[in-house]
A and B are shown apart, each in its own frame.
Chain A
Amino acid sequence: QVQLQESGPGLVKPSETLSLTCTVSGGPISSYYWNWIRQPPGKGLEWIGYVDYTGSTNYNPSLKSRVTMSLDTSKSQFSLNLISVTAADTAVYYCARRVSSHWPFDYWGQGTLVTVSS
């Protein structure tokens, strides 16, 4: 059974960088699209972007100037960096898998809450 687990600091100061890692177990990290999605408290879901098995990326234009994603196949991990954070970036961050470009999310992590506050 494929499992995804997010990890990283739960508290980040304004203007600093939010960094999260998703560890994939129970299946290969190659040949898939690895995504980040976030959900502000009490609100809906926002797709942040993906990194695929070749290392290619695609980001939501609303966050593109601040986001970087990367893949480490040797550790079965992929990561998210979001720079210059503000309180509006406070959210539960999920990692999720897609089989291909025209495919929805089939496995999700449990999510990790990141609070932006001084």
Chain B
Amino acid sequence: DIQMTQSPSTLSASVGDRVTITCRASQSISIWLAWCQQKPGKGPKPLIYKASSLESGVPSRFSGRGSGTEFTLTINSLQPDDFATYYCQQYDTYPITFGQGTRLEIK
């Protein structure tokens, strides 16, 4: 299985900040990486696919970069609604695997 490792596990930030979450794959996955956001008691919400493509309706303050084994999710000018847990997911090879999550909390 391809292991996905996110860092940091927890991130404290303030409204208006710019934050970056990193996701590393244990082997190359080309650009077959997605990011999703999850809030307590809710199903995940897709944000980004193919490493850098924004899902329809997702604000432009979210952006993704990377290819191969290293990827980043950046959120510019954090809004109160952005405090949640973020997961990366590879869909290059079965089984599909997820990172362990990054909890973004209010400082």
Which chain A residues border B94 with CB–CB below 8 Å?
58, 60
Whether B23 sits at the interface, judged by CB under 8 Å, is no
Whose C-beta in chain A lies nearest to the C-beta of B49? A104
9 tightest A-B CB contacts, nearest first: A104-B34, A108-B43, A47-B96, A60-B95, A45-B98, A44-B100, A104-B49, A110-B43, A111-B43
Chain B nearest CB from A12 CB (Å) reads 21
Q: How large is the interface on B (under 10, 10 to 19, 20 to 34, 35 or more residues)?
A: 20 to 34
A16 located at the interface, meaning its Cβ lies under 8 Å from any Cβ of chain B in the complex: no
Pair A103/B99 contact, Cβ less than 8 Å: no
Bound form: Cα–Cα A60–B96 in Å: 8
Q: How far apart are A73's CB and chain B's nearest CB, in angstroms?
A: 23
Instruction: Give the nearest-CB partner of A109 in chain B.
Output: B43
User: Would you call A94 and B98 a contact (CB within 8 A)?
Assistant: no
Please tell me if the beta carbons of B32 and A102 are within 8 angstroms of each other in the complex: yes
- Which residues of chain A are within 8 angstroms of B36 by Cβ–Cβ distance? 105
Within 8 Å of chain B (Cβ to Cβ): is A46? yes
**Residues of chain A from 12 to 65 with CB closer than 8 A to chain B in the complex:** 44-47, 58, 60-62
Q: Is the CB of A110 within 8 A of B95?
A: no
Q: Which of B45, B98, B99, B100 meets A47, CB within 8 Å? A: B98
- A53-94 contact mask (Cβ, 8 Å, vs B): 1 or 0: 000001011100000000000000000000000000000001
Contact residues in B for A58 (Cβ distance below 8 Å): 94
* B63, CB-defined interface residue at 8 Å: no
Q: Which residues of A contact B107 (CB under 8 A)?
A: none
CB of B44 within 8 A of chain A? Answer: yes
- Whether B91 lies near A104 (C-beta < 8 A) is yes
Q: Whole-angstrom distance from the CB of A63 to the nearest CB of chain B?
A: 9
Q: A46-B98, A102-B91, A105-B36 are in contact. List 16 more A-B contacts (CB 8 A).
A: A44-B98, A44-B100, A45-B44, A45-B87, A45-B98, A47-B96, A58-B94, A61-B1, A61-B95, A96-B43, A102-B32, A105-B34, A106-B55, A108-B44, A109-B43, A110-B42
